[in-house]
Structure 1
Amino acid sequence: MNASLTNDTLFFAVYAGVGSMGYVLLAVVLLAYLATVLASATVMMLIFLDTSLHKPMYIFLFSLILNGLIGSTAIWPKVMNILSTNSPLISWEGCIAQVFFVLTYGACNYSLLAVMAYDRFVSIFQPLQYHTIMTPLKVKQLMFVANLMPTAVMLGQTYIASQLPLCRFEVHKIFCDNLAVVSMSCSRSQLSNLYGIINTILFVVLPVFFILLSYVKIIVLSLKASTNARKKVFETCSPHIITFVNFSLVSLFSLVYNRYSFLPVEANIVQSVNYILFPPLLHPIIYGIKTQEIRQSFSKVIKRMLLQ
């Protein structure tokens, strides 16, 4: 690639090693993305239209699904374009935009999962006071903390990344993230490292600690309850637990890959797909299958359509 091109454009070097696997990846991404849009739109439509689902739990779920849909849409159409045109290029501005959406996707996911754990905690430990605690104002405050605050903070992280001077113009991932930009910079930024550590503590470590603590207390309480009560608690919490475990595992895999960069290109593809393609697809499906109220709402819509 010539110098004039690299001054304005970044090159995804990882696609050079994909070869014939690119067509397989394109098919997987296309099918998964379309399924994500369909599953997300279905659950979000049910929550929006069915007044019986206008509860804090489903408001938070709506936001979680929307966050995954935005994260997917910010990344995968570009990936599919590259795979279909065999043109692994992206503008600097486009790369920085991907950095922002990837950062925000991860931070908001953990923040929303923590807020949802709090909602489940209150509903189990203080069921009689639930509606006085989870007021519309409280829900708005939690939504602010879980969405707008991570977005604002990650905007700062993205700005720091955008100011790094670049000495290399090859991205060794299938999309841009903060680590990819840092690895292309001429020197390590102490401010970027410090900001990243603080963000990790605020939007990964603390939410995970809070979720685990909440479920330890819920499990302890369940062990003292009757069999029917334990069953009800499990039915209430199982979608959230599955979603949390799923996202935590793919995040851990991504962390391991980023730390051990000697892993082959196939590992890069797997960790990228696992992190920002499959969770947005699985989350609405998990809640759709495991949550009785969503299943009932879906059944009502189907019956209404068939009777028309």
Structure 2
Amino acid sequence: MLNDTTAAYFTLAAYFDTRGFRYLLFFVVMFLYVFIICANVVLIVVISVNRSLHEPMYLFLCSLFVNELYGSSGLFPFLLIQILSDLHTVSAPLCFLQVFCLYSYASVQLSNLSIMSYDRYLAICFPLQYNTLMTSGKTARLVFIMWFYPFLAIVVLVSMTAALQLCGNIINRVFCDNYSIVKLACSDFTVINIYGLIIMCILVIFPAVLIVYSYTRILKVCYCGSKQTRQKAVRTCTPHLASLLNFSFGCCFEILQSRFDLSSVPSVLRIVLSVYYLTCQPLFNPLLYGLNMSKIRTLCKSLLKTEGLASFLKLNQ
């Protein structure tokens, strides 16, 4: 049974002494966070205000950018505080709140990417029926599903973890992680393992199957279709595939960090790998979609010019 002190907080043991350059590190992380906020907010505003972008593809993109703001805010302010702190501790309620934010962010991200692949499948394989198949009502339902079910599943998971009796309070990470907390349990956590397998099937395997199915059909249509069809597929699918691969690599790094002993790997590299999917994805996606999608690129240029705000608003009236 835990004593009151151990139950009140967790110690993050992955931090190392950064006194020589902690302020430099602080400003680098702060710059990244400000850039993520600005880039994602600009794209959300562009899509929200411009009526020509009120199409399913761009609405799913808007949901993606909102999720990146949410996930970044669950990590970066916490990192900034810890960088300046000499005692790398976090209260138990705040730790579980961070677990919820980061896990729900990752779950929503994968769900969003899978629904975007399904949307591209309909647009490329059924171009004439697309507006009938992907109606505004269906788009709204898909957005609701991609946010509601991951949030519900992660709330249950975190609640089950918070109810465990723990034999320690040291987490060998730079942020709170559910798997690391469960490993501290001295009570039986078989139910959590079973539940974890269930939500993995719902939140990971099902979206992955949908992505594989969608791209299998897209490749089949491209192989049998015209040059114009192939060009359309490449133009619309390349940013999505790049985003998907980047997120997948980041998740693989996180799994390696959580499940295997990487003590032989330099601590700096372990930290970078552990936060890769939480930092690079929100940095990568705004640049990727902003630079590759001509509609968004043109409207962003209009918005960012000195006289651009007036012309941007006029353009969208």
Q: Decide: shared fold, TM above 0.5.
A: yes
Corresponding residue SS for 1:127: coil
Instruction: Work out whether residues 173 and 268 of structure 1, in 8 Å CA contact, stay in contact via their aligned partners in 2.
Output: no
| Aligned match for 1:300, one of 299, 302, 315 | 302
Secondary structure class of the residue paired with 1:234: helix
CA separation of 1:159 and 1:4: change in aligned 2, threshold 3 A: closer
Secondary structure at the residue paired with 1:277?
Answer: helix
Q: Deviations over 1:201-256 (max 9, x none)?
A: 11112211211221121112112223333112100111111111110111111112
Measure how far apart 1:300 and its partner are. Answer: 3.0
User: CA-atom RMSD, angstroms?
Assistant: 1.9
Q: AA paired with 2:301?
A: S
CA separation in 1, counterparts of 2:261 and 2:162?
22
* Higher mean C-alpha displacement, 122-131 vs 223-232: 223-232
The answer on whether the counterparts of 1:32 and 1:278 sit within 8 Å (CA) in structure 2 is no
Cα distance in 2 between the residues matched to 1:21 and 1:5: 31
Q: Which amino acid aligns with 1:122?
A: L
Alpha-carbon distance change, 55 to 243 in structure 1, aligned in 2, over 3 angstroms: same
TM-score of the superposition, structure 2-length normalised? 0.90
Q: How many residues align?
A: 306
Residue equivalent to 1:163: 163
Other structure's SS at 1:14 match: coil
Unaligned runs of 5+ in 1: none
Q: Kindly state the Cα deviation for residue 260 of structure 1 after the two structures are TM-superposed.
A: 0.9
Residue 236 (1) aligns with residue 236 (2) = yes
Q: Following the alignment from structure 2 to structure 1, what is the Cα–Cα distance between the partners of residues 18 and 213?
A: 42
1:283 maps to what in 2?
285
Q: Provide the rounded CA distance (Å) in 2 between the counterparts of 1:175 and 1:307.
A: 39
Aligned match of 1:219: 219
Could you give the per-residue CA deviations for residues 10-66 of structure 1, whole angstroms, max 9, x where no partner exists? 111111466656555434422221111111111111011111111111111111111
Aligned to 2:130: 130
SS class of match (1:90): strand
Deviations 1:53-103 (A, max 9, x none): 111111111111111111110121011111113231110000000111111
Q: What residue number does 1:72 align with?
A: 72
* Larger mean Cα displacement after TM superposition, 172-181 or 267-276: 267-276
- One-letter code aligned to 2:36: T
What are the within-5 Å matches in structure 2 for residues 1-308 of structure 1?
Answer: 5-16=5-16, 20=20, 22=22, 25-263=25-263, 264=265, 265-302=267-304, 305-306=307-308
Tell whether the 8 Å contact from 2:150 to 2:203 is kept in structure 1 after alignment: yes
Counterpart-to-counterpart distance in 1, 2:123 and 2:255? 33
Q: Distance in 1 between matches of 2:59 and 2:309?
A: 29
Q: Give 3-state SS (helix, strand or coil) of 2:238's partner.
A: helix
Any unmatched runs of 5+ in structure 2?
311-317
User: What secondary structure sits across from 1:147 in the alignment?
Assistant: helix
Q: Structure 2 CA distance, aligned partners of 1:197 and 1:17?
A: 37
Cα distance change of structure 1 residues 259 and 22 upon mapping to structure 2, 3 Å threshold: farther
Amino acid at match of 1:32: L
Residues 258-308 of structure 1, C-alpha deviations (whole Å, 9 max, x = no match): 121333433431122202111111112111111111112213324572586
Distance in 1, matches of 2:38 and 2:102, equals: 21
Alignment partners' CA distance in 1, 2:285 and 2:262: 31
Q: In the superposition, relative to structure 1, how do residues 262 and 95 fare at CA in structure 2: closer, same or farther (>3 Å)?
A: same
- The amino acid across from 1:243 in the alignment is S
**Separation (CA, whole Å) in 2 of partners of 1:178 and 1:255:** 12
**Cα contact 1:82–1:88 (8 A) shared by 2:** yes
* SS state at 1:176 partner: coil
Kept after mapping to 2: 8 A contact 1:43/1:284: yes
Is the 8 Å Cα contact of residues 257 and 274 (structure 2) preserved in structure 1? no
Q: Conserved in 2, the CA contact under 8 Å of 1:111 and 1:203? A: yes
